[in-house]
Each structure stands twice: as C-alpha cells, then as structure tokens.
Structure 1
Amino acid sequence: MVGQPLDTVKVRSQIASPGTYRGPMDVLTRTVSAEGILALYKGMASPLIGIAAQNALLFTAFQSAKRLISPSTQALSIPQIAAAGAIAGGVNSILSSPVELFKIRMQAQITSRNSNSEVAKSKKLSAVAKEVYSTYGVKNGVMRGFWVTVMREVPAYAGFYTGFELAKGGFRTYLPSETTRNGLPVWALMLSGSCGGILNWLACYPLDVIKSRIQLSDHPLPRGLGGPLVLKYVSEEASKIYRTEGARAFLVGLSPTLLRAIPAAAATFTTFELVKAALDES
C-alpha cells in the first residue's frame, strides 16, 4: 500500500510514448490532476491478492536453495547467497509474472475528467483478468512475458539477498557486540533490507522496462531464440526500444522505483527476520 503510488508512476513512465511526460514528477502531478489521487492505486488489487503467496514462495525457495547449495550448517559465502537468490527469483516468476501482468494492465488505464469533473471508470481487476484469459488464454495471455520475467527475477533476487546479507554482515562487524548479542536491532534490519531492495532494482531495471512493454502489448510474440537476449521476442523488444527511444529509455522510471524499494524491502526483510526468529524460539 505504501509503495503502490510510486509503482504506478514507474509503470506509466515505462510504457508512455517518448515525450509524453517530462519526468516522474510530471507523471505524478498529471495523474492526480486528471484522474484523482486514487488513480495512483490502480492495479493494487493484483499484488495485494498475490503478495502473500509470492513472498511465501520466494522465501521458501531461497531457504531451500541455500540448503541445496550448502547442505551443511556452515554459513554461505556471498556468491552462494547470490546463487540461492537467483534460484529463488526464477521460482518466484511462476507467481510474479501473472500478478504483474494484471497490475500493469490496470495501471495503464489512463482516464480523464469530463466536464462534470467526474472520472470515467476503469475496468476492474476481474474484468481485466477475464478479458485477458478469454481473448488470449493462459500461455499467450495470463502467462505472457513469463520468460522475460524469469530473466528479470534471476539477477534481481541475486541482488536482493546479496545486498541484504552484505549489509547485515557489515552491521555485525562494526556494531558493538552487546548490540548484536540477541540479533541485529530492527533499525539495522530495515537498513539492510533497503540495501537489498536497491540492489534488486539496479541489477535488473532495463529488463523490467522490457517486461512492462511486452506484458502490456497485445501483438503475437515472436517465438524461438535469437538476438543478444537469447529469446527472440525479448531481443526484438529491446532492439525496438533502443532504435526508437535510445538507451535512456531503459532507465525511465528508475528514481521512483528506488524510492519505493527503500520502505518496501525494509518492511519485507524485517518482518521475515522477526517472524523467523519468533518461530525459532517457540
């Protein structure tokens, strides 16, 4: 709920035609002016419904991947943590791909006020989901862009967990031992989580731009392999963006994304660590 408005700004920045907006603040002010402040929460129902299952799958996959990589109780190295995060990200794509597809299609519904200062109604999530499924089915509709989601999630969650563990290790090293005797304080966990969230997006952001464009479009995706990004449909979309908008298009919307990542990842990691510690003690 805290991060959704900035996520809407990010998505609308990514999918807008060149020259539509002057920057993230322009997206924000024009959205609120034309559609009202609640427009910033368009598409929130999809992640709100799916986020518990997504995080459950993500953290379970990460813990399982850690045991797979190192069955012993010995602490994992940073490269091993990155590998476990990458595996968890790939598994997480099973849920994150359809959840984000519906979210993006909701956020892309840009309406304006009429002469009576009323905003035209956007389609509800149920209507969007029904339309996608009935028109395109599961493979080409609900799961559209699954493999580009995998390509994004693998480096993203390698960075996510690496940033978190590196920050935690730094706090354990430099904080007084009496402070960390019973685990890191909440503020240190939150800062560590924020580091993970920032590294998450820095590791994958251009792929997120490509994914948003692919999941919003309706044209048939080219099949097969080809191009520098392996999958033909991903390489062709990347080439189209670069050819028509230039390299800067791959970073459009990054600033609100990083701002959103700070509280969102801090809350996610801190909650997980505190709940895990409580369960370990019970």
Structure 2
Amino acid sequence: MTEETSFPDLDKINNQPIDDKYRVAKDLFAGTIGGITQVLVGQPFDTTKVRLQSDTTGQYKNTLDVVKKLISNEGPQGFYKGTLTPLIGVGACVSIQFGVNEYMKRNVFSDFKILSNSQYYQSGLVAGVANSILASPIEHIRIRLQTQLKGNLGPLDIIKNIYKSNGVSGLMKGFIPTAIREGHGMGMYFLTFEYLVKQDILKNKVERKDIPGWKLCLYGAGAGYSMWFSVYPIDVIKSRLQTDSLNKPIYKNMFHVTSTIWKTQGLKGFFKGFIPTILRAAPANAATFYAFELTIRLLG
C-alpha cells in the first residue's frame, strides 16, 4: 500500500473536519493557548539569549555569567522582564502562525490527500511571513524591555520612546530580518513537526488524535531545534538592530550589522546566545505543540 492510499481522507492526517464552520476560530484559539504556554516556559531562556545577543561591551562572558548577574542584580523576576508584552503578543503571533498554517494545509492544498514535505514547508513559510508583520514590533518592544539594566519602564513607556524618536517606522525596525527568520524558520518548524506526525500515522496506522502527548512533545522539540538551527544568525542580526540606540543608531541596516559582526567577532558572533536558545527550544516548543494539539482535541 502506498503512502498516498494509506489514508484517503485528509482529515485522518490533520484531525480537523474540513467542513467545520468554526474551524478557523478554533485554530486561532488553540494557537493562542500554545503561544501563552510557550512564553511561560521559554521566557527565562529568551531573556538570557537576548542579553547575550545584544551585548556589545563584553559585560557577559557566557550564558552562565548572564544568569548569575541577572539573579544577583535583578533577582529571579528579572528573567521575566517584559513578560506581559510577549504573553499577549506571542499569544497573538503563535495564533497567526498556527491559524495560517492550518488554513494553508486545509484550503490551499485541499486537493491533496496527503501533503508533501514541500507543501508543509510552503504552509509554514506563508504563516511565518504573515506573522512577521505583528511579530516585528512586538519583539522590538519585548527586547527593549528585556535589556533594561536600570529603571523599570513598561511596554507603553517603550512604545512612547520608540515613537517619539523614530515614529511608526521605529516600531517596525528589524522587520526584514524578522520576515526572513519567520518565513524560513516557520517553514522548517511546521515541516519537521508535520513530517514526524505523518510518519507516525502512516507507520502505526493511527489517527492524529491518537498520538500520545509524549510523542507530540518530542516532535515539537524536534521542530524547535529544526527552526533555530536554520535561522539563528539572522535572529542575532535582528536583535542587534532592535537594541540599537534610538537617538544615535550605530547600524544603518541589516547588511551593516552583518559586516560589523563579521569584522569584530567573526563567525562566532552570529551565534552569541545560541546555548540558551537551544536549551529553550525543546521545552518551549514541546509545550507549544502539545498545548495546541490538546486544545484542538478538546474543541473537536
């Protein structure tokens, strides 16, 4: 029996009835739950990563040094600086990611009984690019909150400061590298997860809803690794742009950032903060996919 005829019904793979008129709303809600879960699990790792990525003075030696200094100077709560913004923002972003990805799978490629790896990648790519419009300003605000060493500005304070200095374009600073990261990153992200799910379904002759939670977590962790290994350098470039001075910026554009990092730090400069990112990838994305899939199952 060939892969194409193992399951003639697309619903067997996606576990979502195509004719459900509330399908989009359910996808978006489940994505929001996944995003909130991702933030709660991954924020400490993300704060550590951003501190390393944006360090241009050499105040941090390595990941452990960031953790020690953050706890010493700001307390454990310092890991959750700027959490409110990502809790709302990332919830919305992940909602878009999953919502658009599911729409692509269900509607754009509806004529295919089982999607190919290329189609899974394309679905994730479109989802990532769509999400980057929202993700870029949210991450800009989040990063400036996370890198505060003195003071305790809130999200609205950060927005006012950015707008006062650079207007709307300032809020969208770093959009191009964000779009590149999100597009290719989400393509790899959803491709990896969906490929692992599809192979499990076809090999074990089960339906998507019957895949146990521990496997969903494992596949989600794999998706997180796949994404970050493929886009990390562009994330460093994005972080440098978004933590640049508002009044006297050092960098002209992403190409200027790239050349500066290469000249001053070489290849290793593009991987600053990589360790906390990879440590975060498994638990944060395992939790994200598990929360999304579980919510979809509960909603029906």
Q: TM-score range by the shorter chain?
A: 0.7 to 0.9
How many Å apart are 1:67 and its aligned residue? Answer: 4.2
In the alignment, what sits opposite 2:44?
A: 5
Residue in structure 2 matching 1:171, options 200, 203, 208:
200
Q: Which has the higher contact order (CA 8 A, sep 6+)?
A: 2
Question: Post-superposition shift, 1:17?
Answer: 2.1
Question: Quick one: which amino acid aligns to residue 163 of structure 1?
Answer: T
Question: Aligned pair in 2 of structure 1 residues 100, 3: CA closer, same or farther (>3 Å)?
Answer: same
Matched to 1:166, the amino acid is: Y
Q: What is the number of residues matched between the two proteins?
A: 258
**Equivalent residue letter for 1:25:** L
Q: Distance in 2 between matches of 1:188 and 1:28?
A: 31
> Would you say the 8 A contact 2:197–2:208 is kept in 1?
no
Q: 1:157 is matched with which residue: 172, 175, 186?
A: 186
Residue in 1 that maps onto 2:167: 137
1:21-170 equivalences under 5 Å are 21-67=60-106, 69-111=108-150, 121-139=151-169, 141-170=170-199
- In 2 relative to 1, CA 221–27 (structure 1 residues): closer, same or farther, beyond 3 Å? closer
**Partner amino acid for 1:151?**
I
The answer as to 2:242 corresponding to 1:242 is no
DSSP 3-state at the match of 2:223: helix
- Aligned mate of 2:280, from 238, 241, 260: 260
Alignment partner of 2:215 out of 188, 201, 219: 188
**AA matched with 1:22:** K
AA matched with 2:134: L
CA distance in 2, matches of 1:181, 1:211: 36
Q: Where has structure 1 moved over 6 Å in runs of 4 or more?
A: none
Residue 97 of structure 1 contacts residue 145 of structure 1 at CA under 8 Å; is this kept in 2? yes
Q: Shift in Å at residue 68 of structure 1?
A: 5.4
Unpaired segments ≥5 residues, structure 2:
1-39
Q: 1:18, 1:245 within 8 Å by CA — same for their partners in 2?
A: no
Q: Deviations over 1:162-192 (max 9, x none)?
A: 12122223433555x5x76852011111111
SS in 1 for 2:110: coil
Structure 1 gaps of 5+ residues are: 112-120, 223-232
Q: Is the 8 A contact 1:190 1:266 kept in 2?
A: yes
Shift of 1:18: 5.7
Distance change (3 Å), C-alpha of 1:9 and 1:181: closer
1:8·1:107 contact (CA, 8 Å) conserved in 2?
A: yes
Structural RMSD (CA): 1.9
Q: Deviation string for 1:67-116 (max 9, x for gaps)?
A: 454231511111110111111100000111111101110111113xxxxx
Deviations 1:118-148 (A, max 9, x none): xxx3212221111111221112x11111111
CA distance in 1, matches of 2:65, 2:88: 29
What is the Cα deviation at residue 11 of structure 1?
0.3
How far apart are 1:276 and its partner, in Å?
Answer: 2.0
What is the CA–CA distance in structure 1 between the aligned matches of 2:91 and 2:60, rounded to whole Å? 33
- Equivalent-residue separation in structure 1 for 2:78 and 2:209 (angstroms): 44
TM-score scaled to structure 2, two decimals?
0.80
Aligned to 1:228: none
2: distance between equivalents of 1:198 and 1:181? 22
Pair 1:203 & 2:265 matched: no
User: Residue 251 of structure 2 contacts residue 257 of structure 2 at CA under 8 Å; is this kept in 1?
Assistant: no
The C-alpha deviation readout for 1:219-277, integer Å capped at 9, x for no partner, is 2864xxxxxxxxxx212211111111111011111111111121211121112222223
What TM-score, normalized to structure 1?
0.85
What amino acid is aligned across from residue 51 of structure 2 in structure 1? R
